Structure formats: structure tokens, C-alpha cells
Structure 1
Amino acid sequence: MPKLNKKNKVILAAVLVSVSFLLKELMSYDPLTIVFMLATTAVAGIPIFKKAFEALKYRIVGIDALVTIAVTGALFIGEYWEAAAVTFLFMFGDYLESRTIEKTRSSIKALLDLAPDTARVIRDGTEIELDPEDVIEGDIVIVKPGEKISVDGTIVEGNAYVNQAAITGESLPLNKEVEDGVFSGTIVESGYLKIRADKIGDDTTFARILEMVEEAQDKKAKTQKFLERFSRYYTPGIIVLAAALYFFTRDLVLSLTLLVIACPGALVISTPVSIVAGIGNGAKHGVLVKGGEIMEKLGTIKVIAFDKTGTLTIGKPTVTEVAAFGIEKNELLRIAAIGEGYSEHPLGRAIINYASEQLGSIEGHPEEAEMVTGQGIRAKIEGQVYLLGNRKLFNENGYDLEKYEEILRSEEDKGQTAVIVGAEGNVLGIIAIADVVREDAKKLIKNLKEQGISKVVMLTGDNERAAKAIAKELELDGYYAELLPQDKVRVLMELQEKYGPAGMVGDGVNDAPALASAELGIAVGGAGKDVAMETADVILMSEEIRKLSHAIGLSRATVRNMKQNIYFAIAVAALLLMGVLVKTVNLSLGMLVHEMSVLLVIINAVRLLGFGDKGSSRKKVLQTGE
């Protein structure tokens, strides 16, 4: 006879208990009725009895032990219907719990389903399909439309739109070109790519995310640890209490009923199920929270300190303004781009990139070029000598900058760098360059303050003027400039002492000491960044820092959900206990209410999976910080 699975056992037990009930109503406790009741108890009860005895081997007295004692006692006193009903209800409740818990893990399961099944690589000039585990670092991997990328790598040929939702939570596909990096588990929606495998197997970002999400579920919250310690002593205590109740009342049915209704199932499961749902929601939205304790802490932070470069700003110099004097703006840009043609300086690259965007491909190169360290460039272009650089370069070459002083100071006060362009003693133009603030930064700061964060500050190694300009633009509560990594750690400690728990938000590269020392380290753009993945407690997988607001709102919603579950479980247990003492709750009714309470606790936790989805109201946004 084939072994029955859990679902089939539940169906068989349901048929047997239904027949038992009908026979009981029609024939009372006839021998045939008793046979069906015992059969129900055997089918539904044996798995419970086995789990109870297995747990006892490890000196664990759990819920299964309470039910086993109660059912054994019911059979002993001839309460066959109560034994059948209790075992079936417990089995059915356990089945519903397992099915519902699967729902709470759906976001994580969705991630697992995104793991690539095959990889197409070029070996000896031939395309072959391999298991992704068999790809070797340096292999050229081919990915066609609709296929999953199986490695972390660099595009060497092709162009495609890639859906990176599994890694970063971004809903829109991104255009990827030669030299761009791509991640395992992402999907090519249109286009064709050849990718050099840089990271393979368990080293890929996708594999590490899966590992961290699974580990996070095992890292328990403080509330969960407390409840588990509580149940370790509570369950044996209930057995002693039931024995004492029998000793004083000689009412065995009352004592057995106490055993059943005192099962702390809903209480024990109230926290872990909320944590799993919360972590699953975070994974779906590109927010990796490393465990239940972190999830609890995240919503309690009072201060958030941001790094500037690469966190509040995009981390790349960009031309913000061009002023031309006695020359066409496009001609000024063309000359500046040609002059910077051999420069590797970030400001020079910013000018070239901006000119290319505005004018298309820039033709020509300097006939002569001289780098003047700390000042700029002297370049000969089409027979004319041009200077491109800072004040010092122009002052030392006899230029009069007095009439441009107001413009220069205005740009510098905004935290921008002014590159001056000149020739033959005349200033031709000023190009302002800055590390631009992220589009979503200002809205994030506003949301954080609406969420009740008491202090939002910036810690940066940049100069005072640049820091002041960014802080003013974003309406921060304060800033600390010209800090070394150890200074950031010191300032964080001071902020925590003064205002309470502090979170440090950085890009995970040069902010590792601060991320590690803060109450909570939060890394931005963690996809592919090893330091961020290892150091931070919370990782925003994309560079959309607005997701920090979602993470804080999710933490608070998760903690609120846990408390709802705990209070509900305690209330149900108290009501059942009163019902037993006044003899209005019997064994089967007690078990039915107990299992329903467990199921309701799980269903309540499942609601967290929808947190942050589109369509939420403005009121919800303000309450949860979403």
C-alpha cells in the first residue's frame, strides 16, 4: 500500500471523523461508531504521538505532548468522540498552518524560482548548454531574449533591456551595453548579450542574496527568543497545573480539557510568522534585512546619518551649468571637450560626457597638451592656446578674474566646482560641475521626518562648503564635514548617546567602519558590492535610496503585526481558560478554537506580504512611512 502524504491523510481523517459524527448522532455509541472514532484517532493521532515522543528524546515537552496526554486520557475514560475530534482538528489545523506559512514564504520562493536552470557558453568556438554550476570564470556566456543570466559578469558584446527586479527590486528593465555589469538571476527581456563570467555559482550576487535571506529567517527576534524560552517552561507547567487540578477536583475531563486549551501554539508562532513575512516582503522590494532582530530594531532608530558621495549624491561629477562670454555655448563646450581629451581627471570626463550628450560625437584632439598639476590643462587646439582649470591657473597666467568673481563665488557657495576656460588673456566661459543630488533624496528626507525620525544628518569627508550646500538643498537637520572614517565612527557614537539608536546609511565601500559601528548599518546599492553585503545589517539592493523609507515602514508594520498576534493569542488563551473553569468549553471545542486562533495569527501575518504595493492610501503612507 503506498504511503499517504499529508494531504491524503487529512482527507482520510476527514471522511472517518464525518462518518463517526453521523453514526454518533444516529446510533449513539454503538460498537461500529466506536470503531470509526478509534480509526479517526489512529489516522490523525499517530503522527502527533510520534512527534511528541521524538521531542521527548531531546527533553522537549511541546504542544504535541499536551495533545497526546489529553487524547490518551480521553480514550482511557471512554470519551472516544472527543479523542477523534481533537486529533482530527489538530491534524487539520497543522495542515492549514503549513499551507498558509507557504504563503508567507512566497516572496522568497519566487526568488528561488528565478534561479537560472541552464547556461549557454562558447567552448572551442561552439555553443553548448551547461548547468550554471559548470560555468568557469572567464567563460563567454550567451543570453537570448527571455532567458535568465546565469553569472555575474561584464557585457563584451550586444545590447539588451534587462529586468533586474530579482536583485534590486526595480520594476522597469534597464538598458545594458558593452562594459556594463549584469547579475545572475536577472532576465533579458529584449536584445542579445555576450557576457564574460566574472563571478559564478555560489559567488554570484543572486546566490548570496538567497543565502542571506534564508539565514535571516533563522536569526530570531528578541521577542521570538523570549517567547521560545517562555514556552519551554510554560508547557511543563501546564502539565503540572492539570495534574494539580485533577488532584483537587478529581475531574479528569476538566484536567484534560485544560491541557488542550492551554496549548501555546498561537503565541509561539505569533512572532516568527510575522518576521518571515516581513523579510519576504523586503526581499520582493529589493530590501535585504538580515534577521528578525534587525527587523525589530529598524523601526526604532531615532537618528539617521547619511554619507554624501554615492549615497545622497549619485557619486559622479556632472556638468550643471555653462556660462559663455563672447562665444557660442556649443563652441565653448566643443573646445573644452577637445582640451580635456587626454585627461583622466573626473572633472575632465564630466565635461567630455556632457559635451557628447549636447553635441554628439566630438571630432578633433589637441595638437599639444600640458597637464598643470593641481591647476588644470594648457592645450593647443586648431593653432590657438587655451587654458582650462581653476583660479590658480588663470592667476598665474596673468588673467584678470575680478569681474567673474561673483559668478565663481556663487558656484562655489553651492558646493560646485568652477572650471574656467580662457584664451589670449580673455575668459571665454565658466563650466560648473557638481556631484548631483539623487532625484529621490529630498523626498526621502521628508518621508523620514514624517515617520518620526528625530534627526537626519550627513557625515562626509568633503569640504565644508560643499557639505553645507547639500545639507541646505536637502533640508537636513545638520552636517559634519571633512571627516575621516574614524571621525564618522566618533560622531555616530556621539549622536547615539544624545538622541538614541542611530542608523548609518552609506555605499558600503569607504563607509564600512561607520556601518559596522552604528546601531544599524544600511548600505545603498548593495548589488555586487561585497563590502556592503558583509558589513551592513540592511541592504538596499538598488541605488534608489527612497526604499529606506519603505524599509523603516515595513519594520514598524512587522512589529505592529507581531504585537497584534501576541495580544490576540493571549486573549484567546485567557477566554478559553475561563471557559474551561466554568465548564462551558469541552475538549473538541477547545481544540477547534485553538486551531482557529493559530490560523488567524498566520493569516494576519500574511497581510505583510502586500505592504508597500501600489494603491495604498496617503494615510497609510504617513502612518507606515511607505
Structure 2
Amino acid sequence: MLKILQLTNQHQKIYIVLMTSLIIVSFVSGWLGNGMIGHFIMLVVTILGGSPIVIQGISALRYKVVSIELLVSFAVIGAILIGEFSESGIVVWLFALGRFLEARTLTRTRSAIAQLVQLMPKQALRISTPTSRIFELIDIDDIQVGDYVLVKTGSQIPVDGKIVNGEGAINEASITGESKINFKSQAQNVFAGTSLDSGTLVIQADKVGEDTAFGKIIDLVETSQDSQSQAQQIIDRFAKYYTPVVLVLAVLIGIVTRDIRLAITVLILGCPGALVIGVPVSTVAGIGVAARHGILVKGSEALVQLRKVTTFAFDKTGTVTKGTPTVTAVQNYQGLEMQNLAIVASIEHESNHPLAQAIQKEYTTLELMPIDKTVVIKGKGIVANVGQQQVVVGNQQLMHDYDIDLTIGQQDTDYFLREGYSLVYVAMNHQLHLLLGIHDPLKPEATKIMQQLRELDNQRLVLMSGDQQRAVEIVAHQLKLTQAYGDCLPENKMALIQQYQSHGERVAFVGDGVNDSPALVTANVGIAMGNGTDIAMDVADIVLMHADLNKLPLAVKIARATAMNMYQNIIIAMLTVVFLLIGLFTGYIFMASGMLIHELSIIVVTLNGVRLLRL
């Protein structure tokens, strides 16, 4: 039986052409007066087309599933028993034709993923040193982290890594969704799946295979296409019980009316084919088109939830700001300023926080000191021992926790906060020694994006940050946001989201750091920036590749279009069944014509789903 299914699936097009030709010959024979030959040919068509259907129906029954194929099998066998060979032949032909067209159309909806897979390089040129030009062509799976890879003009970059030699123009559309060419040179990062339009590069591999950004896109999108939304789960449960009901109804109609033909027709027309296929085709197309635009959606439910969002909550640093803060003001209160700065730079080397990185970047020439007993206090700062003295580096809340008197720096604090600086206090032996003002400029597109989100449905837009309240308020004012929350620890962000949810709000949180992970998980939709930490991207429902905030309004539009398309397909499917049953009992719809309409409805909902690919 499996061989028959494999044969028909492998040669589906030939199979349809053969059946169509036989049906034409049958009708010509009947027109020429050879009715018996015509009936015999239709019986052959029924056996050809019906065998795979019966096999699929029996296979499903083994798993206690009453499938559409089983309903059609009963209907076809019944038509043969009452001598309606023409009807049975046309029914199996229409069913096979519908499945063929459905498969062809669904292939188009998966084209975005197929294109992604094709972009993944299969081989690479490995060299021994950054300056060597003697290469060996090896399979991509044989590349190891740390290997040097040579990339020539017109080739695809096979790994995530850093350029160690050369420069060139790179098309990163496969990662960012934008076809803009980026010129990159030594020490800059490049990504697998992007293409080198000009130049020659030597890249040292940081990530290979499925661990690359591009590999994760393919893996997660393929996985998400197999996931089910709540609507799809409901429909699957409905179909599970609906199909046996149709079978029982047909039997009862046959017993009561003693019209076997009518009972068989009910079996055929009651099949919920368009209903079963309508939702998956919409979600697959929606996820595919999102991937094409650099929006990684981890499951169809994420699209459904994004459509319902009423509040967007944003982290500040690296999300609405550039994430590259710089030290722009320094006030020294006690001790030698350069010595204090050297101590701060040494301690901040223990942290990956953006403000810590700004200090590290600013004072790279200072000699680092040995640090003892470092304690990182999440959301507040660091406490460490340098020599014989305890050093506390962090925000105002941390200073209060350690009873540090900030009176001496109050005037500077007020000024820096008015200017929108983030503040880092440095205290040694319970006395304030240093105050650093750090500024992180807004992303150029941030203001426009917030306006677009407001226009989508006047959503509530809020900012949640571990930065000082005044600094957060200034950013919120610049972006015209609804509310600003500063001095937020990870648990505070999570609590704020839960508070909004308790008032009926559906919250999407947009962030990029490890400290954003609780908020990303708690929100109805967690949205991570593509340049963020691995853990943030792992727990998020949606990832904006390359940290492109411009993709956020587009993601909302895709989610809404997908949901609308899904509901359209459900309505089309349900109305088709109702129309067919009314037409049947009023005498306007018959077995063959009903089957034609039924199969056309499947094609209609599939083509409707394909419309999403135009977004």
C-alpha cells in the first residue's frame, strides 16, 4: 500500500494527466453511443484515483482518526455499488486535482524558507593563516570555530566571524531584510548567508553551522511553521469530532430517506477540507513573509498575540537608543582623578553592562589594577575590593543601599539628570569620589517608529529601564511615550508588565539584554533585538534581526494581515459547507458539482493565504 502512495505522490502530475485523459475518452465514448465503454473507463479512473484515497483513509483509521479521505472512500465505494461510475470517477479526479493544486500552492507559501536554505553556503575555502592564499575546498560542516576562511567576490560568507584581513561590500539582505550594501573592513563582524559583492575577505570563524545567526533563522522559522496557533488547535479538535458526525448523519439520512445516493453525496459535501487547510496556509505564509523581511517569528501563536497587543513596553539602552553610550562628563570629588578613573575602569572590566562597556572604551590607556572579591548586584552595579579599600560602583540606589552620602555631588547630579545623562557613582570607603555622566543617543529611526506604532491603533507606549528616572523621562519625552519607568530591576519590569496585564492590557515587551529575559517571558509577546544576548533571543517570541527597530511596525502589520487572512479562510470554508448542504437538500447541487465546488473552496483559501506573500 505504501508503494502505491509513494508512486502517486512522486508522479502526481502524470497521474492527474492520465486520469483527465481517461475521463475525456469516457465522455467521447458516451457521446458516440458506446456507453458501456465509457462506464468501464470511469471505473478504471475510480480505481486509479480511489486507491490512494482508500489507503490514506484506512491508515488514518488505524490511529483512530476519521479523516476526510475515509469519508470520500465510503462515498466512492457507495457510488460504485449503486452503479454511478461516472460520479465516482469525477469525484476521485476532483479530489486528486484539488490535492495537487493545493500542494503546488502551498509550495509557494514556503518559498521564503526555501530561498533562505538555498542561501546557506554548502562549501568553504579554508586557509591556514590570515595572509595565506593557498586554500582547500571543504564541506561547510567541516569548518571549526577559530578556522580562517577565504571569501572571494561574488561568494557567500559561510560563517559568522570577524574580518581579519581585507575589506569589501557586503549584501546583508538575508539577515537584515534590507538590500542595502554595507562596506566592512578589518575587525568588523560578518554573518553566514550574506554575500560579498566586491572585495576579498579573510574571516576567522566565531560561529559555524546551525549556531550562526543565519542557521538559527532557518531552524527557528522551519520549527515555527510546524507550530499551531490556538485557532488551529480549535479547528483541529472541531474537525476531529465534525468528521464522525458527518458520517453518522449520512447513515441516518440513508436509513430515513432510503436514498443511498443522497447519503453518499452528504458524505462528500460534508468534508471540512477548506476549514482544515485554511488556517495553516495563512500562518505558514505569514511566518514566511516575516522571515523574508528579517522578522523571525517563533510560532504562529506569536503572530496571533502580536495582533492583539495594546501596550508596547520598551527597554531603553540598545533598544530605542544606539546602545553605544559614551562618557561625556566627569566630576571628581576626592583623591586623584586619574587614579580614581583607573580603579573604575579596572572594576568595570568585570561587567558586560552597556554603561560598563562605555567606561572600558573611554579609558583603554589606563593601567588596570588587580580586583578582589567582586560582587555584581543585578540592576544596581558592582562592589569590589581594590587593595585595602572597598569600592562601590553603580547607580543611586546602590549608593543608598551602602549608606553613601551623595550631598557633595547633588548639584552635579541635578544638572546631569536635566541633560538626560545616565549616572555612575563611584564611592570608596563609604565616601563619594567620582561621578560619571554617560550619554546614549537615540536611534535615528526611534521617533518615527513610535509615531507609526501610535498610528496603528493608538497603542500605549511605555519605557522601562534600569537607568535613573530623570534620564528615562527625558528619553520618553523625546519619543512622546505614554509613561516612563526608571530605576527598574528585572523583577520590576516583570511586575510592571503583570500590572498592565491585570488591567486587561496585552503587552509586548521589546528588549535586548539578559536582564530583559524575565520581562520577555512575562509579556504576551516578547520581542528581542537581533544584536542582543543569546538568552534574550532564545526566550523571545519574535526577533528583529540586525536590531532593526524599523521592522516592528511591519511585524504588527504582518500579524494583523495574517489574522485577517486566517479568519477570511475560516468564513469561506464554513459558508461553502453550508451552501453545499442547502443546495443539496433543495435539489440544486449534486454529487459531482458539489465536489467541484468543495475542491474549488480548498484552492480559494489556499490562494487567499498566498496573497500574504505580497506584503
Q: TM-score if structure 1 supplies the norm length? A: 0.80
1:225 aligns with 2:230: no
CA deviations 1:113-143 (Å, max 9, x no partner) are: 1111211001486300011001122110111
| CA–CA separation in structure 1 for the residues paired with 2:231 and 2:60 | 23
1:207 aligns with 2:212: no
Pairs within 5 Å for 1:190-269:
190-269=198-277
| CA–CA separation in structure 2 for the residues paired with 1:104 and 1:8 | 23
Q: Which moved more, 1:449-458 or 1:58-67?
A: 449-458
Q: CA deviation at 1:409?
A: 7.0
1:285 maps to which residue?
293
1:66 maps to which residue?
71
How many residues are matched? 535
1:18 aligns with 2:46: no
Structure 1: segments with no counterpart, 5+ residues = 322-338, 354-364, 375-404, 420-430, 612-626
2:304 maps to which residue?
296
2:472 maps to which residue?
467
Whether the aligned pair in 1 keeps the contact of 2:221 and 2:296 (CA below 8 Å) is: yes
Whether the aligned pair in 2 keeps the contact of 1:414 and 1:465 (CA below 8 Å) is: no
Q: Which moved more, 1:36-45 or 1:590-599?
A: 36-45
1:546 maps to which residue?
550
Whether the aligned pair in 1 keeps the contact of 2:326 and 2:359 (CA below 8 Å) is: no
1:441 alignment partner AA: A
Pick closer, same or farther for the CA change 1:222–1:192 going to 2, 3 Å: same
Pick closer, same or farther for the CA change 1:64–1:508 going to 2, 3 Å: farther
| CA–CA separation in structure 1 for the residues paired with 2:543 and 2:237 | 30
2:111 alignment partner AA: S
1:477 maps to which residue?
482
Q: CA deviation at 1:414?
A: 3.1
1:87 maps to which residue?
92
2:83 alignment partner AA: G
1:54 aligns with 2:59: yes
Pairs within 5 Å for 1:313-324:
313-317=321-325
Q: CA deviation at 1:58?
A: 1.3
1:570 aligns with 2:574: yes
Pick closer, same or farther for the CA change 1:242–1:499 going to 2, 3 Å: closer
Q: CA deviation at 1:350?
A: 7.8
Pairs within 5 Å for 1:173-572:
173-317=181-325, 412-416=417-421, 434-526=439-531, 529-572=533-576
Say which of 167, 174, 181 aligns to 2:175.
Answer: 167
1:590 alignment partner AA: G
Q: CA deviation at 1:174?
A: 1.6
2:163 maps to which residue?
155
| CA–CA separation in structure 2 for the residues paired with 1:291 and 1:85 | 39
Whether the aligned pair in 1 keeps the contact of 2:324 and 2:358 (CA below 8 Å) is: no
CA deviations 1:382-428 (Å, max 9, x no partner) are: xxxxxxxxxxxxxxxxxxxxxxx99x977642304799xxxxxxxxx
1:324 maps to which residue?
none
CA deviations 1:51-89 (Å, max 9, x no partner) are: 111111111111111111111111111111001100101
1:427 maps to which residue?
none
Structure 2: segments with no counterpart, 5+ residues = 330-340, 347-355, 370-380, 382-410, 425-435
2:13 maps to which residue?
7
Residue 322 of structure 2 aligns to a residue whose secondary structure is strand
| CA–CA separation in structure 2 for the residues paired with 1:287 and 1:262 | 39
| CA–CA separation in structure 1 for the residues paired with 2:40 and 2:120 | 50
CA deviations 1:583-606 (Å, max 9, x no partner) are: 221111111000100000000000
Residue 511 of structure 1 aligns to a residue whose secondary structure is helix
1:76 alignment partner AA: L
Whether the aligned pair in 1 keeps the contact of 2:109 and 2:284 (CA below 8 Å) is: yes
Q: CA deviation at 1:257?
A: 0.8
| CA–CA separation in structure 2 for the residues paired with 1:217 and 1:252 | 42
Whether the aligned pair in 2 keeps the contact of 1:532 and 1:539 (CA below 8 Å) is: no
Residue 178 of structure 2 aligns to a residue whose secondary structure is coil
Whether the aligned pair in 2 keeps the contact of 1:508 and 1:535 (CA below 8 Å) is: no
Residue 312 of structure 1 aligns to a residue whose secondary structure is coil
Q: CA deviation at 1:170?
A: 2.3
2:470 alignment partner AA: R
Compute the RMSD of aligned alpha carbons. Answer: 3.0
| CA–CA separation in structure 2 for the residues paired with 1:546 and 1:234 | 44
| CA–CA separation in structure 2 for the residues paired with 1:75 and 1:225 | 36
| CA–CA separation in structure 1 for the residues paired with 2:7 and 2:320 | 59
Whether the aligned pair in 1 keeps the contact of 2:345 and 2:368 (CA below 8 Å) is: no
1:140 alignment partner AA: Y
1:35 maps to which residue?
40
| CA–CA separation in structure 1 for the residues paired with 2:241 and 2:193 | 45
Pick closer, same or farther for the CA change 1:346–1:51 going to 2, 3 Å: closer
2:151 maps to which residue?
143
| CA–CA separation in structure 2 for the residues paired with 1:319 and 1:533 | 28
Percent of residue pairs identical: 40
Residue 588 of structure 2 aligns to a residue whose secondary structure is coil
Pick closer, same or farther for the CA change 1:418–1:505 going to 2, 3 Å: closer
Whether the aligned pair in 1 keeps the contact of 2:327 and 2:359 (CA below 8 Å) is: no
Q: CA deviation at 1:209?
A: 1.4
| CA–CA separation in structure 1 for the residues paired with 2:483 and 2:422 | 22
Q: CA deviation at 1:320?
A: 9.2
Q: CA deviation at 1:23?
A: 1.9
2:395 maps to which residue?
none
Residue 142 of structure 1 aligns to a residue whose secondary structure is strand
1:22 alignment partner AA: V
1:390 maps to which residue?
none
1:608 maps to which residue?
612
1:357 maps to which residue?
none
1:77 maps to which residue?
82
| CA–CA separation in structure 2 for the residues paired with 1:52 and 1:293 | 30
Whether the aligned pair in 2 keeps the contact of 1:27 and 1:33 (CA below 8 Å) is: no
Pick closer, same or farther for the CA change 1:123–1:21 going to 2, 3 Å: farther
Whether the aligned pair in 2 keeps the contact of 1:318 and 1:436 (CA below 8 Å) is: no
Whether the aligned pair in 2 keeps the contact of 1:73 and 1:256 (CA below 8 Å) is: yes
Q: TM-score if structure 2 supplies the norm length? A: 0.82
2:375 maps to which residue?
none
Whether the aligned pair in 2 keeps the contact of 1:66 and 1:259 (CA below 8 Å) is: yes
| CA–CA separation in structure 2 for the residues paired with 1:90 and 1:445 | 49
1:54 alignment partner AA: S
1:132 aligns with 2:140: yes
